[in-house]
Amino acid sequence: MKRFRPGTAILLLVFGLGLLVSAAGYGFIQTQIGGADFKSFAESRAGEILKTKVKIRGLRYLPPAQIALWGLETTAPEPELPFSILEVGKLSFGYGLFNLLRGNFKVPSRILLDSPRVRLERGQSPFSFVHSTFSGAQTTPVKLEIRNGEFRIPWPNGEKELLLTEVDFKAKLDVRGQIRLRLNSRLAGVMEGEVKIRGSSDLRFQHYQLEVLLKNVNFLADSGIPIKAMNGRFSLSDTSIESLGLTGLFHDWEVSWIGKVDQWQTKPRISLEVGQEKTRTPVRLSVNADFEKNRLAGSLAWRGQVYPFEGIALREGKVVRFPAVALPHQYAANGEMDLATGNYSLQLDRERRRIEIRSNVSRLKFETHFELDHVSVANLDWVISAKLTLEALTRSSRRQALGYKASLRTDYLVIETEPLEDFGGNFELSSEGLENIDLHWGGVFHLGGRVLFKGTEPRTDLVLRVKGFPLASIQDFAGRPIPRNLSGNLEGKLKLRGELNRPDVEGYFTIEEGTLDKLDFDQAILQFQGFPPYLKLYDSKILRGRNTFKLTGAINLALGNVFHGIRIKGPDHLVIWKGMSVGWKAGESAVEGEKPLSSQVAVGFEMGAGEGKEKEQGESHALVGPKFKF
């Protein structure tokens, strides 16, 4: 017969006694929790934690020191609570073994919520629920754990919600009333991605210090925030928010955020830099705003230039206003932004210039209205009131430059005293320049082509087309005098290529069934080429029946009389018309005919043999018909 060693016998005895004690303890605890009184107590305790009336279908002891309540049914929450319980899968209380054996169930050392669904009131965070859960255990260290939870948070803009799903939350309250916490969650609703939070807080979450980690966070369309692929960290406390390295796509621009917001819950002090570096034209915006002192300052760095601004910033509820901001080049600005809707407006003023812009941060669409009142642009006098709409074009990839489709409509447009009726059209705008230009006015003029912003000077490739323009309807040429009795239908095209300030100009025009002074004709053909202001005529002529008259000379845009250098020569090279006489009055000299643009110039000239005008060297003169003056 095999004998047990003394040590083995002792171990078996201890093991047996342990089983006996465990069985006795299990039976005791089951007896304690099996009655109706404990069920009422458990429902009451659960109601204190969840801040609502709770009914449970059953409870179970889970060795060694946990009691689980299952089949929870909640009723209407207490009034004015920051949250409401939609559903709880299971609620468990963990106890110290000594308290458990003594039947002390009032203060659990651990609370576990399994699959809770909680709706928060507007302006509240999940920590409002955590504070409420801890409120019954202010004197005893306790742990709170949430598994597979869901928090529904109202979004400030509209009726949408931000959902924290698959919430894994752990927090521990120590004897000093400090909470150490950790939260992992996925985002849904108006956002998607992952968020992790680590930090500490006091029991009431009045003072806290948290670090938030974002991973591949996208703000969806309903959020009203045009940010995607956000990654990085920021710190959040009851007094400040500070970026610890955030990157993302703002309207598909790769940008970074660096900065800090102090007193963010009252009167914020903002120091922020937003930069787009991974591009051929880096952009960096620096903003410093103090809403306690109502001050605004900052700068925009772009294309090697820095544009500072400074002014006043006010916050009135959910609206931020900028009543006075000084900009470079003597521009003054004012504007406002509605933080609830994302709508904003900006107005720029400088002397006789005014530009108003309206848009929304969630959309790359800008409604602008601008007015110029006798402003010099490209050495021309402009008077204009127009509406310009810019809407972003779809890009095939983020490497492609962002472009806009522009739609232009004018209330009125006058260039050098010349009105352009019904001027409007479309074009595409990008950092590369203006492309697919399609502008029209007067029912007969069309401008197409592109202007590229390459090199130090913009370059043009434009074509102006004219179809059936009645010359009899004009009184002058951009404020310069024209010959009297000029008529006929003008058709043709004007090409401009090269540098915008001094393009290579090439023109081909015809005038059908026209007149020039006393000369009527079947067709005139005008061809010219050159660099402004001097455009030389070539192969130009006037056809009248079987007769051909040559047009020679050049158009000089620098003169008050742009026709000064033009001649009409008949058979045998006889000069029958000289452009230098345009604008003459009887008895005036040719020099007097070259008047400044601002002068009131009478249109007319005298023509004929023996009128006291000297012949130019190498030219003959002939009288066409009787002597005439016009």
pLDDT digits (tens, 9 = 90+) for 526-572: 999 999 889 999 999 999 998 899 999 998 888 888 888 889 988 77
Q: Write the pLDDT tens digit of every residue in 209-260.
A: 999 999 999 999 889 899 999 999 999 998 999 998 899 999 888 899 999 9
Q: What pLDDT was estimated at residue 35?
A: 54
C-alpha 311/C-alpha 326 separation (Å) is: 6
**Boundary-marking domain end, from 254, 276, 298:** 276
Domain residue limits at 42: 19-276
Q: What pLDDT was estimated at residue 8?
A: 64
In a domain, 487, yes or no: yes
440: helix, strand or coil = strand
**Boundary-marking domain end, from 219, 251, 276:** 276
Q: What pairing do the DSSP bridges indicate for beta strands 142-154 and 110-114?
A: parallel
Q: What pLDDT was estimated at residue 502?
A: 86
Counting as low any pLDDT under 50, the low residues of the chain are 21, 23-24, 138, 585-630
With 0-12 / 13-18 / 19 or more C-beta atoms within 10 angstroms meaning exposed / middle / buried, residue 88 is buried
Q: What pTM was estimated for this model as a whole?
A: 0.73
In a domain, 99, yes or no: yes
In a domain, 178, yes or no: yes
C-alpha 269/C-alpha 290 separation (Å) is: 4
Total domains in the fold of the chain: 2
In a domain, 268, yes or no: yes
Peptide bond into 64 cis (omega under 30): yes
Q: What pLDDT was estimated at residue 586?
A: 42
Q: What pLDDT was estimated at residue 33?
A: 56
* Helical H segments across 542-584, by residue range: none
The number of angstroms, rounded, from the C-alpha of 79 to the middle of its chain's C-alpha atoms is 42
In a domain, 311, yes or no: no
Q: What pLDDT was estimated at residue 404?
A: 92
Count of helix runs (H) and strand runs (E) in the chain: 5, 45
In a domain, 199, yes or no: yes
In a domain, 503, yes or no: yes
Q: What pLDDT was estimated at residue 273?
A: 94
**Boundary-marking domain end, from 276, 305, 332:** 276
In a domain, 484, yes or no: yes
Phi/psi of residue 501, each to 5°? -70, -25
* CA distance readout (Å), 44 to 73, 288, 361: 13, 52, 49
- Give the residue among 138, 155, 158, 151 at the shortest CA–CA distance from 83: 151
